[in-house]
Every structure is written in C-alpha cells, then in structure tokens.
Structure 1
Amino acid sequence: MVTGSYLRKIAAVALFRSTKSLRSLSSRSRYSSSYSEEITEKVYEDLNRRIDKFRKELNKYARASFRSRSAASSLSNLRATLTDMKEKQRKHEAANSIALIPSIVTLEVLSNGTTHLRPSLIIRTPQKVYLFNCPEGTTRFLPSLRVKSLNVCDIFATRGTWDHIGGISSVLLSKEQGAQLTRLHGPVDIKHFLECIRPFTDSDFVLAKYPAPVEERPLDIGSYQDAALTVHYLPLSGLRGAAVNEAHRMDLNRPVKPIQGVDIAYLVELSSPPRRVDPTKLIELRIPSGPLIGRLKNGESVTLEDGRLIKPEDILFSEIAEEQPNTLIVECVDFEAVDSIKNNSLLQKFIVGTEKMNFVVHFTANEVLNSNEYTAWMNSFGPQCLHIILNGSGPVLPHIESIYRNHALLSHLSPNLFPPLLGSQFNGVIGQDDECEKHEGNLIYARPLQRFALRGSLNTEDPITIAVKGADIESRINQSESTRKAIDDFKNECNSTECSNDMPRISFLGTSSAVPSKYRNVSGYLLQLSESSSVMVDCGEGSYGQLRVLFGVERCLEILLSLKAIFITHAHQDHMNGLYTMILRRHEAFLAKGVEYRPLVLVCNFNVLNPLRTYSRCFCDLEPLVNVVNISNRSPAFRNRGDRRNHLRRGDDSRLSGIMDIVKLMPRSLFDRAEWGLTDILAVQVHHTRMANGFV
C-alpha cells in the first residue's frame, strides 16, 4: 500500500528538484530563451507525470482510508506548489520583459549627509526605485523625493554598519501587507538582525511580521539583473574586520572596526534601451494596427496573414536615444580599498577607454578622497566622467521642507523654546535641477534632492522643491490682525517671565510617533543636568540626527562628551533603534577630542540587549563601549502568560513589583551623584508591554 508519508517524501523530492531546476533557469539568462523554455516544460511534465502516477495508485484504495486521505492531501499540496511555481515563473518572465526596459532613468540624491541623514541616493525608473545605503531616518525622508517605501524593492549597502543599514527595518515596516519581495544586496546577516528585532515593533503581545518578504543577496552572488539594469558587486578589501583581536576589542581609545571585512562598490549598467517604432516603416510594410505591433515592440517576430515574416528590426528606428548608462557607486574607507577598486577587472574597460564611465558617486570620506592616490584613480576615467561627492561635506541645506517650515514658524513665536536648526540659515528655494558649483571641472559636492539624467529628458513640469522663506512666515502671520495681536501678547508675556537658571533643561528629539514620519519623529528625550552632565530617556531612530540639527555640529560634540547614560523604557523599535548610532557617535566624539573614553551606562531590560549583542556579533562590536545596568529581573513571577496579560489589561497593579532604585545598581566606577547631578533614579513598571518602565 502507498502510504501518506511515502507520498509526502516523493512530493518533497519532486518539489526540491523542480525548484532547483527553476533557480538554475533564472540564473542562465535575463530573458526567456528557447532553451530555458524547453527545460522548464520538461520540469513541469515530470511533475505532472508523477502527480498522475500517484493519483492512479490512490484510486486503488478506499477513499475512507486515513492513509488515502493523508496521501490525497499531500498530492493536493504538491499541485498547489506546482501552480505557485508556474505563477512565480510567469512573474519572473514578466518582470524581465523587454517591454519593461525604462525610457527614463534618473539618479537622485536623498541626502548629502550634512544634516539629519547620512549620505544616501536612489536610482529611479517609472516602475521601480533602487536605494543605495539606507541609514537611520530614511523612511522619514523618502517622501521628500515623492517616493513611497512600497516602491523600494532593492536596497544596496556599501558597508555592513548601522550608518548604511539602520533604516531598513522602518522601510520594511512602512510597506503594505502583501508587498513585493524586498532584496537586500551586499553585507550578510542583515536579514538575521532584522529577524532579531522584528518582535519588538509597537505590538504588545504578538510577534509582528514585516509586510514584505525579504531576500538577502550577498557578495558571492556577483550581480543583480532585471529588465532595467545590471548591478555588479565589486569587493573592495580583504578580510580586514575578521581578525580583530581581543586586545584591540578592549582598547576603547581606538576606532571601532566593523566585523565584516569586505566593503562593496556597485557598478550600475543600464540595459540597452528599446528602439522606437518608425511609423513610416509600418506603412511601407502594410502592418495592421493592433496586437502585432505590441509583439514586435516586445522583441518578438510575427507572421502576417499574407505569410510575410516581420522582425522587430524591420520597423524600428536605427538610432538609439542619447543616454549615460554607466554609474559607479563607491566608498573607500582606507587605501587597501583604493587598491582593490583600482585593480578590479570590471572597471578596466572604462579606464582604458573602451567604454565610458558617466558618473561616479563617492561616499568616500575626505581623508581618502583628497589623497593623491585616490585623485589619480578618479582622473583615470577621463574628463567626461562626472564625480558626485556625497560624504557629508557638501552644502548644509534643509533636506525636508516640512521640518524646517514648521520649526521656522515655531521659532518665530518663541526663539528660546525653538532655536534655529542647522541649515535654517538658508532662505530660498532648493530645486532638483539647480546648478551646482563644479570643483576642478568635473567634480561636484551635491545638494539634497539633486538629480541627474541617466536616460531620457528630465521632467521639469512638476519639479520637487524645498521652499524655506522667512517672508512666507511673515505673510501668514500678518493675514489676520487677531493672530498678529495674539502672537505679540505671547511674546511680551514670555519676555516678562524670568528664568532662574538654564539647567536642568529637557529637549524633545521626537514626539513619540510610532514610526519616523514627515512631521514627527519617534521617542527620544535629552535631559541636560549641567554643562558637563546629561542623560537620555529612550533613543528612537534618528535621535542623533535630531540632536545634531538642533544643537549644531560643535555643540552636539560637547553634548555627546557629557552624555553619561541612556535609559530605555522598553524594547519597541521606536524607542531603541537610534541607540547604535548614539553609542558610536559618542565614542567618535571622545576620539576627536583626544579624551580618554568612559563607557556609556545603558539602563534597560534584556529585550534591548539581545539586538545589541546580535548587532555586535554581526556588524560592529559596540558591547565594550557600554556598561549595562540590566533591570529585567525585578518583576514578580507570573503563573502564566495569560494571567499576566489579563492583569495588565485591566489595570490591576496589586501584583506589580513597584519601584526599583537604579542608583544601587549603577557601576561605582562611572556613577557619581555630584558629577552627574542626580541624587536618585527610580524605575517604575508601567502598563504597556513586557518589562516596560517609566523613570523618575
């Protein structure tokens, strides 16, 4: 008798073989060929033959048999899998159809790294958006380019550090349910880290899932290809990060090395554009209007009713539209990486002049960028290549209109409560197509939003702009006499109120938005206790960017030096995803000032520590930079999870542990009441999620 377990094994083997065959097919060619179609049909025929064979065997046995029903269920699952495979194959072929080769492709600057956001850019087609580097706050700034997270299906990271991948989680969470697959290109273990922090979304008692499936495409895959373009992965270094010894790890006065030693540059080559149909040739060849023309445009040959075979080249213009199809995106952190990129075989055709390199985007820091060796390599691409610098040293300008317009209005009402932001000195309009000053002929430091045409002409009818004008605010205020009077009365009252001293002072780095948004940021509060002491409560995504823009570069550096501790209330992402940047920037501030490093005290529960440890093992070891005060084990033992949930929901606090004195747990080598300006620190359990606390 054929058992259900036996049939399930056969089904699993058939599924494995068919999936393996389809994977090999998808890697053979960008477009479907007669060879791949023939092999695909053989796979489907084999699966159908097996299904038919097992169906006949099942018919020999009683339908009421348990084994028969189990086997029938297995075959039903196999049929469903076969249908799903066919649908995926159809979508793969459709996605790589010649009809989807875009006629317009642009390179656009999301951030030049001078204000909130680390450097980032997109390549845009009418169908898709390709994001290169996804730092903290990316979700908040994508709308400034009229881009939705839903349309970002490919994210390329040049390095495996938080500055390059910190915004991926928010991008995924901002997608709608059932969104298309998101591919993560470059460093490994990003997906592993995302799974680690996935349960800690703003969801109290269930494990939240990302709306879109995620696929990781590491360096060894070599390249990515679709209908629009091909992206080659170019390794930049050897295993620099893999051999970090324990002595270096514990030396807190040296820069932190990334765990992953191989950085990646990306060579983007656009697919050859489809040639346009010549109407005169259609008339000459007497080709009727209708679906035949569409098939010819898609690259298919057609046979007319009179028997003539018409090929696509018979009806197309001979010339190809002007385009600049080749772009290199690179970040060299040291001269070992420079040697790697200089000697890469894929770039030699551009260096010797066989093909033209049109754009090189440099995320490279000035220490390497301005060296003679790097400059010589840049010049090897010739004078026609435009070098775009995105390394945080460009013009300091607003990157998003909503933040600066709202803050300018509030600052007009109360400049003491809302001091000017970094970049707010600009008064005017920033446009996508503004001319940038060129340095040494073919080198520019790009502005935010700036775009460059890789193919086709730029649409100038509805350009994206950032308008920050003081005159606009005055005009809005002066529209109403009553508004003008109310504002004057408010200012007079503020001026008559005396403040006894400037400290302590609290700054809101966010207003508890669940995700970074156009107008609001997530949770983060800076408490300045004195000029030499400050602490933070919560550190959501983008907190460092908010701090930098609020206080300016130099003052931000001083605050980081004075930052003694960060208290995390609970482990939701909107309360802790800015922690990694804050730890690293604080460490860099100590190195920049030549001050001996003192670890940051991190007060949190173990749900915050798990992602920190995972990040430290996969990307960049931050654990030696913090001294952890774990407040996880103060809650009483609940009989079971359901009992705990019911008590929290109905507000019954009779079983809560009450208050915990944090001072007793503070490391004596770091905590000093007089130096910190704190006499008592209390943690109070609150009704929100597992081990959530308020701090007093």
Structure 2
Amino acid sequence: MPVILLLPLFRYHPHIHFRFYSKSSKHHILDLLKSMPKEPKHIAEAQQQRKKIKERISKYVPGKVTLQVLGSGARGAPRALYMFSDQSRYLFNCGEGTQRLAHEHKMKLARLEHIFITQPVWKNIGGLPGTALTIQDVGVPEITLHGPPGLDEIFGATKRFVVIRDLKIHMAQCKESDEFSDNVMSVKYVPLTMSAEDIYNVDDTIPEDGEKSKDSEVNAIADQLDATTSTRRCRSRKGRSRSSSRNALQSEDIVQDDTDYYAHERKRKRRHRTRSRTPDRSRSHSLDSGSTQSSGVISSDSQQILQETKEKGVSMCYICRLQPRPGALNLDRCVKMGVPPGPLLGKLKSGEDVTLKDGTVVCSKDVCEPDDPGPIFIVVDCPAVDYIDSLLNNESLKQHQRFAKSDDCVASLVVHFTAKEVMEHPSYKKWVDEFPPSTQHLVLNESNTCMGSLAVHRIQYKLNLLSEDMFPLLGDRGTPTVNEVPGLHVNKKQKFENGIENKDAINNTQNDLENLSVQSRPTSPSEPYIFPNTFCSIHLRPNKGVDRSLSLKLNPHEFISETMEVENFSSVLQTLKQTLYQHRKNLNIREYPKILFLGTGSCIPNKTRNTSGILLATSDTQNMLLDCGEGTYGQLVRFFGPDNVDEILININAVYISHLHADHHIGLIGFLQGRRRALDRLDVDRGPVYLFAPKQIMAWLSFYDRCFENIRNEFVLVPNGELLYNNHSMSETTNSLILHEIGLKDIKTCYVRHCPNAFGLSIISLDGHKLTYSGDTMPANSLVELGQNSDVLIHEATMEDELAHEAIIKMHSTTTQAIEIGQKMKAKNILLTHFSQRYAKLPRFNDNFAENVGIAFDNMQVKLDELQLLPLLYPALKTMFAEHCEELEHKAVKRQLKLERERSLSRDRHAKQKMST
C-alpha cells in the first residue's frame, strides 16, 4: 500500500531518474526507505537526556560487568580495552585506530565517561582526538581522563585541526594517595617510574642554570633555521639519545600556528565570496586569530608539567575493584520456603529476615546468593626494564598478589599493556609468579596478531574476485579463519581457460583456506597468559571467566559466496575476466611507478574507507607517502603483513602532507615511530624522511616532541611553500640534493582552494612520468597549471554532483568537477578519491565517468600502465554493490522531493505575501 501512495508522487516529478527502480521489487524499495538514516537529535538534547539517565541509574551497582578487547595491541593495531556494564562504559588506553574499530563493531560510546591512560605515548593516546569527536557527536556531555599529569593538553595542542566544541574534557588528579570511585568500581592509581640512575642518564643534558638554558635556546633556533631552509643534517642513527633529540628540537616559540583551519565552515555565509579566490601566502595567516579554536599554543606551566612527566617517564597502573553487590534473590528458594509474592521479597533481597503468616522465619541468607564483594583487576604498563624495580617494590600491588590478607583481595585478572620484551625479562616473570594460579593474565601488546577488522577483509575478498593484481588479498593473516569448506584447494593455474575463469574455480577462488588460519597462542598452566583477538571478553560479574565465543574470525567462503549469489554477478564477472585478459595481452605493464591507496575516505574513517593516505612507489627502493591520516601505519601493516612491511617502511624516504586537517596528517607520528622500529629491527642505518608539509605543522610536531615522545630526529621539514611552481624559493643546490635522495626528477606545489595553507602537488619520476595530487580542494586553476599533461591526476571527489552546494560550504569538489579539472590539465588518466563516507562502497556514477576515469578503493594497488583497465571494472562493481547503488539513488530521490517541497512552500508564501499587499 505505501508503494501505491508513493508512485503518484513520483509521477509529478519527471526530472527525477529511476534507473534502478525498475529492477527492484516493491518490497525491496520499502526496506531501503525504512533503513535510511533519520535526522539526528541535536547534541544539546542528547546530552540532556543522557544526564537524566545517568542520575537515575547511578544509585545502583550494576549486575553485569565485562571487559572486552577492542584493540589487541598487535602490530599496526590500537591498544584499547573496553569495559562496560549495564550502566556505563570505560576505556583503558586509546591507541591510533580505536575510533575506526569502535565504529565497525558498533561499540556504543554514548555512555563512555572515563578513559584511563597508562602512559602518554602515541600507542596509548593516538586515538584520543578521533574518539573524542565521535563521543561528542553522540551527545556525551563530558569525559574524564585519568593518567599521568598533563595528559589532557593533547587536546589543546590539536584544537586547531580537531574541533571539540560540545564536549567538556576533565583531567583527574591521579596522585598515588587519590582514588576514583563511582557506583561501578573504585580505582587506585599506582604510578611507576624509572630508577633514579636511569632518569639521571637520560636527562644529564638538561640545563641546570640560566647559561645552559640560553645555549639550548640558541641551538634550537639554529636547528629551526636549518630545517626551514630544507637542509639536512647528517646524523648517525646509532646511539640516539633523548638529549640529541632535545638539542634538535625546533622551538615552539619560533614556530607557532594561530590559524583556524575550519573557519571557512563556521563563517561560510560571510566568507562565501572570499572563499572562491585561490589562497595566497599573505591570506593564509590572516584567519580569525581570535577564534577559540585558532591557537594550539600551550601555556608554559602546562608544558613544564608535561616535560616533567616525560623526563620522569611516569607510567600509571590501576588497581580496579568492582563495588560490592548484595547477592541476588533466588526466587526458586523463596517459593520452596513459601514466601508469597509482595513486599516480603523486597525485604529479603535487602538483607532482612522475615516471618511468614504461619510463623516460619525465613532468613535472607537462605534465599539469596552469596554477596559479591567485588573482584579486583589490575592494569599494568611497564614500558621498559628500567621500571621493573618500581613494579616489584610497590606495596599497593603486593597487597593483591599471592600473600594477600584474604581471598577477596587477590586479583582475579591482570591486564598487561607491558611491552613484549619486558614481559620476557626474568624479573617481570618473577613478579607475575607472585600471583596465585587463580589469577588470569590478559596480554595486550605486539605478541598478538589480530588487527581487529573484518570489514577490510570482507571487501578485499570481494574486490579480489575482479582482479587479483589490483586487489591482492591482504598480508595481515593474524585473524583466525573459519574453515567452512574443509579441504578447499584451488590451483591458480587451473583457474583460467583461454582467458576465461572457470566457474567452479570462481566459487572456490581462495587458495587453501587452512593456510590462512592463525590461532591465538593457547593457554596452559606453564603459560598463564591470554593472548586475545578483538571481542575476546573477560566476564567480571556475574560469572567470571574468559569468553572467546565472539572473538573475531574471518570467513572467506562467506564473503565470496554472498557476492557470487548476487543476481547476474557470475555472468558479469565472466565477461570482465575475458575483457581484462584481452586488454592485458596488448599492454606492456611495467612494475613501477605504482600507487597503493591506504585511505580513500574523507573526514573520519569508516569500516571500509580509511582517511587519506597513498603510497607511491617509483622503484623497489624509493617510496613516498602522500598524506598520512589516522591509521596509515596500520594500513601498511595490514596490506604487506607484519613479516614484509619493514622492508617497505625503511624505503619510504619522503612524506607529503597536503594541508593540516587531521584526516590528512594525524597518522604521521605513528608512521614515524613504525619506521624507526623497522630500522631498528633490520639494523639498517637510514637518514630521516623528508617531510614536505606546510611549515605550520611544526607547532604540533615540536610540541609533541618536547612534551610526549622524541620524534624530531625522524624527519626533516621541507616547507611546501618553498616548492611553489610559480614562486620557487628553494636554492638549486638544496633542491637537487633532495631530489637525488628521494629518487625524483622534479617536485612542485601550488596553493589550492581549501583551508589556509592547503597545497596541491606534482612530481615527475626519474623515467619522466608525471603525477599530480590535488589534496583537498574546490576546482582550482592553479592545480590545472601545475598538472598540465600529467600521466595521472589523483583528485578528491568528496561529493556527488547534486551536493554541489554542500561541496562549496566544505570547500571540496564534486565528481564532475574533479573530472573536469583532469580534462583541463589534459591528464591521461584521472583517479578519484577522498569520498564522503556516505559512499562507503561506491560513489554515485554519472555520465562524466569516461574511459580514463578510475575510482580508488582502500588497498587497491595499481601500476601506472594498468590505469586504463580501471573503467572496465564499472559494470561488475555496479552489480556487486547493487544494493548500495540503489540506496544512493533512493536518497537522491528523497533529497529532490524535499527540495521540491521547500520550493513549493516558498512559492506559496510568496504568493500569499503578494496577495496581502
């Protein structure tokens, strides 16, 4: 019936196209319309509602409490342990990528109020900015951080590019004498520090008087000038120390950034005309310096606190005890003892004894389960061997080990965020042995292998059906595989007959699924540790124990089967395979250059599209990153696998950052640290990477280096503004040196029309291939000039054409606008990327998708000579993701109808006003 009502409404709008409707059942149309997202509540309303709920439930001790692994700490995966009750949520550590996993697995962050951080290092705090944005959007009014002093200043340092307006962030006073308590649990803070001798050794170059301080300032200024003029110091990679990094630090007093990178969105009406001009150097620094989001400068007092925390190397451990809870009333026992329904049950539940009408006395203890005093779990992060003495000698921790005063005081669980090499140290093992056999030990570090995502594997298995070359199966084999088809073996040589893939082989397309299975390390009495996958749970109340039933497992057969069952897909795939085979025979496909897309989504990551990141390989020893959104390092590990990624990392000698929005650079620190570990593991002596970026990035990087971890020796800044194609200011000698070291013939930039200090890039490889990358931008003539006659243009295409107005507000491009820029610059090939997350699988196609236009996917690796093959995939992609395409069309229709209603109302109001006058 609803469909009958809708059809006449559609009939009066002949300009609306219904290409997909004729192929769909009426029932399917209704399902899609019902599943469309509703208008979200205003954040303020959501916050008010949550406050009321909190007040109501805070009087009760929850009956269910569970710890659930979100990020296992595997290489490239975040470290994050989620604790939830039927009332509230808590998070222990929040590594880079936590936001993406929480989104994929639908972890309800709406009740998250407390985040406990063990140590203020990137592997624990890299996900805080993104997670804060998520919980702000779901209406959480405030959140409290627990951890070493000064931890909350990361939000002050990132507020220029991570906009937190509606979320209050508090920092708990986490002194050893303090304790946090609510209706769920109480938490005692246990700080660990390095031994005094170790602190002296790493800090022996800290100025002890005013004269030395002045010398350090002079050195910092010299290093600042050195970096901003693009020169590279020849430092040995051996024997690095904190003192050398401190001397190399670029002073934040010199590099400050008061730019508001989101002013164009907040002031879009007033600045609409101004935005249409291409930004220049003078305009880049003039934006609203008084904005509350404009300054990333931290007060000197806060910096001093952070520096002291860093110098002492404080790592916070937590002794957590659930609040005691009276035993539950056993109704079966009550019935047996003749207790009638009514108020007597309530008295028994509250601990009172009652007398029945016949004079029988019923004791509360006889009909109630035993009281639960509250189990204890301990969260430990011992960063290095230097901290073990502090761990062994801590009296608070000893009270919950083998010789505790009572059984109730013995820890039921210890969560180890401790590094793998520290856990293998004899002294640490000795500390673990001090717990009785009943204590379980959960390990969240690089000993684990599960990276936490099913969605990335699901879509890759689907796309792999189209092309094994452009969509290879991911190297991350750390998640166990469900072998639903035992003995499945496919010989790749038998998969093709005369260029056509055998139909039976398609249905069984994967090689020996048993070889993909990687099981977590087993638990045994001699090996007391639990090595979890994502979603492994530890039940603390009511039933205590490990629950692996929901732990992540891959099911490749399911991924493939659900695709092959799509109507007409099998025949479309057969046609595609034959077409690709014929085209490849006529191509001379060279190995390099090749492009690997690590992130093709905009703004925030979702389960299938990560934020911006592209790996450009020009040879087997020359790699360059184009932008580095959150999780870029993890994407590299996921694609190449932990066994092979180190070789890739050490050969990345340059990183380009197009602009300073968080989705384009917040993953830089994680990447730099991952590259450093790769160099150390392989014992290779390589220089720092060249960082091509807006020079204002140093305000953030120098702050992080000074206050959190040493990263300054890992890069040399080359300001994008010195490489402008129409105002090149770098010396020829320096330019030639850099090009030689990164293996390029030329590199140039231009300003583009996005936020302040936003750039486009053009590079030419040694063999003469030209690649242009837009970064984020509205259509920009400067980019057309820069990229003339490019072999490939990689251009953002955030919005579909019908959202052109929204694209103007956000200063992005539509798909057609991006294609037109490529046509104007006479690019041979155009690759579209940076799609709004509403296009999680495919963007909305239009008639402008020509034969030289390709669509980028995460984990798509394409050689330059293969680009012309990408448009051949379109029929198969549209069939594979038919439901997604239909949904996009339905949303377009709904949007058009809404617009027509608004126009009609506007005409009616205008007519009434005219009649009244």
Provide the C-alpha distance between the structure 1 equivalents of 2:570 and 2:241, rounded to a whole number of angstroms: 53
Q: In structure 2, what is the equivalent of residue 614 of structure 1? A: 703
Contact 2:326 2:371 in 1 (8 A): no
Return the match for 1:153 from 113, 132, 136: 113
Residues 1:613 and 1:149: Cα distance change in structure 2 (over 3 Å): farther
Q: Residue 380 in 1 paired to residue 446 in 2?
A: no
User: Counterpart amino acid of 1:372?
Assistant: P
Q: In structure 2, what is the equivalent of residue 415 of structure 1? A: 468
Provide the C-alpha distance between the structure 1 equivalents of 2:480 and 2:549, rounded to a whole number of angstroms: 19
Q: In structure 1, what is the equivalent of residue 327 of structure 2? A: 275
Return the match for 1:494 from 577, 580, 592: 580
Provide the C-alpha distance between the structure 2 equivalents of 1:665 and 1:445, rounded to a whole number of angstroms: 54
Q: Deviations over 1:383-436 (max 9, x none)?
A: 111112221112x34522211111111122211111221334866349xxx997
Provide the C-alpha distance between the structure 1 equivalents of 2:546 and 2:682, rounded to a whole number of angstroms: 46
Q: In structure 1, what is the equivalent of residue 569 of structure 2? A: 483
Q: In structure 1, what is the equivalent of residue 102 of structure 2? A: 142
1:11-410 correspondence to structure 2 within 5 Å: 96-97=58-59, 99=60, 101-114=61-74, 116-175=76-135, 176=137, 178-201=139-162, 208-220=163-175, 222-238=178-194, 243-246=202-205, 252-254=237-239, 259=311, 261-277=313-329, 289=342, 317=367, 319-320=369-370, 325-351=375-401, 352-354=403-405, 355-394=409-448, 396-397=449-450, 399-410=452-463
User: 1:166, CA displacement in angstroms?
Assistant: 0.6
Provide the C-alpha distance between the structure 2 equivalents of 1:331 and 1:113, rounded to a whole number of angstroms: 12
Q: Residue 572 in 1 paired to residue 661 in 2?
A: yes
Provide the C-alpha distance between the structure 1 equivalents of 2:138 and 2:555, rounded to a whole number of angstroms: 39
Between the two proteins, the alignment pairs up a number of residues equal to 568
Q: Residue 686 in 1 paired to residue 772 in 2?
A: no
User: 1:293, CA displacement in angstroms?
Assistant: 8.0
Unmatched runs of 5 consecutive residues or more in structure 1: 1-86, 202-207, 303-312, 635-656
Provide the C-alpha distance between the structure 2 equivalents of 1:463 and 1:603, rounded to a whole number of angstroms: 47
Provide the C-alpha distance between the structure 1 equivalents of 2:51 and 2:540, rounded to a whole number of angstroms: 30
SS of alignment partner, residue 96 of structure 2: coil
Q: In structure 1, what is the equivalent of residue 743 of structure 2? A: 677
Provide the C-alpha distance between the structure 2 equivalents of 1:366 and 1:666, rounded to a whole number of angstroms: 45
Q: In structure 2, what is the equivalent of residue 470 of structure 1? A: 556
Q: Residue 558 in 1 paired to residue 644 in 2?
A: no
1:522-671 correspondence to structure 2 within 5 Å: 522-631=611-720, 659-661=726-728, 664=731, 667=734, 671=737
SS of alignment partner, residue 746 of structure 2: coil
Deviates more, 1:335-344 or 1:125-134: 335-344
Q: Residue 451 in 1 paired to residue 537 in 2?
A: yes
User: 1:513, CA displacement in angstroms?
Assistant: 2.4
Residues 1:625 and 1:480: Cα distance change in structure 2 (over 3 Å): closer
User: Counterpart amino acid of 1:353?
Assistant: A
Residues 1:214 and 1:300: Cα distance change in structure 2 (over 3 Å): farther
User: 1:465, CA displacement in angstroms?
Assistant: 5.7
SS of alignment partner, residue 382 of structure 1: coil
User: Counterpart amino acid of 1:127?
Assistant: Q
Residues 1:388 and 1:458: Cα distance change in structure 2 (over 3 Å): closer
Contact 1:331 1:363 in 2 (8 A): yes
User: 1:483, CA displacement in angstroms?
Assistant: 1.5
User: Counterpart amino acid of 1:421?
Assistant: L
Contact 2:143 2:167 in 1 (8 A): yes
Return the match for 1:438 from 510, 517, 523: 523
Provide the C-alpha distance between the structure 2 equivalents of 1:188 and 1:216, rounded to a whole number of angstroms: 8
Residues 1:480 and 1:126: Cα distance change in structure 2 (over 3 Å): closer
Provide the C-alpha distance between the structure 2 equivalents of 1:231 and 1:552, rounded to a whole number of angstroms: 38
Provide the C-alpha distance between the structure 2 equivalents of 1:254 and 1:124, rounded to a whole number of angstroms: 44
Provide the C-alpha distance between the structure 2 equivalents of 1:94 and 1:256, rounded to a whole number of angstroms: 53
SS of alignment partner, residue 538 of structure 1: strand
Provide the C-alpha distance between the structure 2 equivalents of 1:281 and 1:241, rounded to a whole number of angstroms: 63
Q: Deviations over 1:79-126 (max 9, x none)?
A: xxxxxxxx99999976652x1x11111111112222541332112211
User: 1:210, CA displacement in angstroms?
Assistant: 3.9
Residues 1:177 and 1:89: Cα distance change in structure 2 (over 3 Å): closer
Provide the C-alpha distance between the structure 2 equivalents of 1:460 and 1:360, rounded to a whole number of angstroms: 13
User: 1:469, CA displacement in angstroms?
Assistant: 2.3
SS of alignment partner, residue 384 of structure 1: coil
Contact 1:157 1:185 in 2 (8 A): yes
User: Counterpart amino acid of 1:153?
Assistant: E
Q: Deviations over 1:15-57 (max 9, x none)?
A: xxxxxxxxxxxxxxxxxxxxxxxxxxxxxxxxxxxxxxxxxxx
Provide the C-alpha distance between the structure 2 equivalents of 1:197 and 1:557, rounded to a whole number of angstroms: 29
SS of alignment partner, residue 659 of structure 2: coil
User: 1:438, CA displacement in angstroms?
Assistant: 0.7
Q: Deviations over 1:583-630 (max 9, x none)?
A: 122222222222234122112224322111221121012223221122
User: Counterpart amino acid of 1:209?
Assistant: I
Unmatched runs of 5 consecutive residues or more in structure 2: 1-48, 208-215, 217-234, 243-309, 354-362, 484-518, 763-917
SS of alignment partner, residue 580 of structure 1: helix
Contact 1:661 1:681 in 2 (8 A): no
Q: Deviations over 1:301-340 (max 9, x none)?
A: 99xxxxxxxxxx9699554266871111112122332211
Residues 1:572 and 1:260: Cα distance change in structure 2 (over 3 Å): farther
SS of alignment partner, residue 599 of structure 2: coil
Provide the C-alpha distance between the structure 1 equivalents of 2:149 and 2:731, rounded to a whole number of angstroms: 41
Provide the C-alpha distance between the structure 1 equivalents of 2:572 and 2:53, rounded to a whole number of angstroms: 61
Q: How does the TM-score come out when normalised to structure 2? A: 0.56
User: 1:284, CA displacement in angstroms?
Assistant: 10
